[in-house]
Amino acid sequence: MFRRVLAYCTYSAAIVLGSTGFDPLQHSGPASPYFDAPVQPGLPVETPSGCKIDQAAFIVRHGSRYPEPGSFQGWLNLFSKFQNATYTARGPLAFIPSWTPPVDDISHEPLFLSSTGASEAFALGVELRKRYGFTRGGDNFTLWSASQQRVVDTAAYYARGYLSQGSYIASPDLNRGFIVSLPDSVKDTSANSLTPSASCPAYASGDHGSTMAALFRATYQNQIASRLNRDFLDGLELNAADVGVMQDLCGFSDEINGDQRFCNVFKPPEWLDYEYAHDLNYYYGSGPGNPLSATVGFPWVKAVTELFLAGPGNTTENGSFIPPPLIMGFTHDNNLPPILSALGLWNATVLPPSARDPNRMFRSSFVVAFRGYVAMERLSCSKVKPDTEVRHVANQSNSEANEPTKKFVRIRVNNAPVPIPGCSSGPGASCPLDGLVKHIQQRSLIAGRFVQQCGLENVADAVSDATFLTQIPIDSEVIELSPGIV
């Protein structure tokens, strides 16, 4: 229960797993359970030698979930088609006559976080606790979330993993996690939101993603249906729409109940086509192919850059709220590609809808998989090399706090470091902090002001900046993690 308190590089096309050397779950776009994206050759994942991370900011998609109601209706339609026909199914389709949709609580499960999603969020909390060690035991920890339940639940499970908290029933004051829940998918928050795309009226007009994806799907789905009908079915005719639902069910069935049978129905090139259709949808829908994508993502990037300039534990412009060194925000899939656009990552790519581009940099599976994220890390780097022999003087600290340090920023996308174009001269291809400031100033000219670009000039109280990290918005609420949440 909650207690309410207040109102770059080209990635490899295939990722090896199992005997086939190919894993469909890592080419399923937004239906992929979380996995670390592949790393650019020669670019280490580890923090560069001589550096330590003193501040980090993450914007994270919610964890694996049950289907949206519309998608679930597609599952039910497919199930009805399977059940209401007389046919013989062979080979990888032999399971179809006995298959049932993997939802056993229809009145509740669609839309909500699955157990896999809870596990993904908890695991991220454990991972970042070990990586950063920013929060001492007993310290309070605040994080930010869009208000839809699956997003809040992801934040809560993350906090449990990060804080290693128990259920303090007898002493609730010992609970240290707080979620600032911001209004979700509403049109009156403008830029001060974790779902800014929903409050930019002009944004939807630039969304050509579904059209581009449909054009590409028309080049392969009918051929797949013909292959399956010819080779494995007698008396049942699959069509292009059925193929789309069946490919969706690979990722969803695996994360809901571990069923990978739909994953085995399709060949690797068919999975690459499925992934590319999602790439087109996100690239032209919420990514660099949408001219307002950078506008929508820029407020968060600007806010984080200002906090990195101030340093951990400080506020900017006399803000009334002090964020932790680790700044965590939880949102939906369509709000991650705009962050890439605002930073200028993968923006030069133009994806054709006629044929798959094997050399593209933008891949939805590596960005918007369940619990996918974009992270910015501030590095404090010194020339001091790790010592092989250290002398300790009694009652004196061996801290290197007085060593001269320089500040750098590195971007991670699903854990893989991604260099900032034109600003990668620092350790591990990081960007000097002053260089990042100049880069963001240049990107601001491309992004423009949120209010003007989104057509909100006549909307009262519309704003172009994200200030929720330093000042709690009036229309938000703070949720305290309390006994029974897990």
Q: Tell me: the pLDDT tens digits for 231-245?
A: 999 999 999 999 999
Q: How far is 157 from 320, CA to CA, in rounded Å?
A: 27
pLDDT number for residue 403: 64
pLDDT number for residue 184: 85
Give the residue-averaged pLDDT of 440-449: 97
Q: What is the mean pLDDT of the chain?
A: 88
CATH of the domain spanning 1-7+49-65+116-201+290-384+404-486, picked from 1.20.120.450, 3.30.1390.20, 3.40.50.1240, 1.20.200.10 = 3.40.50.1240
Angle at 137 between CA 123 and CA 411, to 5 degrees: 50
Give the residue-averaged pLDDT of 212-221: 97
Please count the helices (runs of H) and the strands (runs of E) in the chain: 11, 12
Greatest alpha-carbon pair distance for the chain in Å reads: 84
Give the residue-averaged pLDDT of 374-403: 75
Q: What is the pTM of this model?
A: 0.91
- Distance from first CA to last CA of the chain, Å, rounded? 8
4: pLDDT confidence band, cut at 50, 70 and 90? Answer: very low
Angle at 321 between CA 156 and CA 412, to 5 degrees: 55
Lowest mean pLDDT among 10-19, 78-87, 207-216: 10-19
Q: How far is 355 from 456, CA to CA, in rounded Å?
A: 38
42: pLDDT confidence band, cut at 50, 70 and 90? Answer: confident
Domain ranges of the chain: 1-7+49-65+116-201+290-384+404-486
DSSP string, 235-294: S----HHHHHHHHHHHHHHHHHH---TGGGTS-HHHHHHHHHHHHHHHHHHTSTTSTTHH
Q: What is the pLDDT of residues 108-142, one digit of tens each?
A: 777 899 999 999 999 999 999 999 999 877 678 89
Give the residue-averaged pLDDT of 310-326: 80
Q: What is the pLDDT of residues 46-78, one digit of tens each?
A: 999 999 999 999 999 999 999 999 999 999 999
pLDDT number for residue 13: 35
Which percentage of the chain shows pLDDT scores above 90?
70
Q: List Cα–Cα distances, 391 to 396, 408, 414, in angstroms.
A: 11, 30, 39
Which percentage of the chain shows pLDDT scores above 70?
89
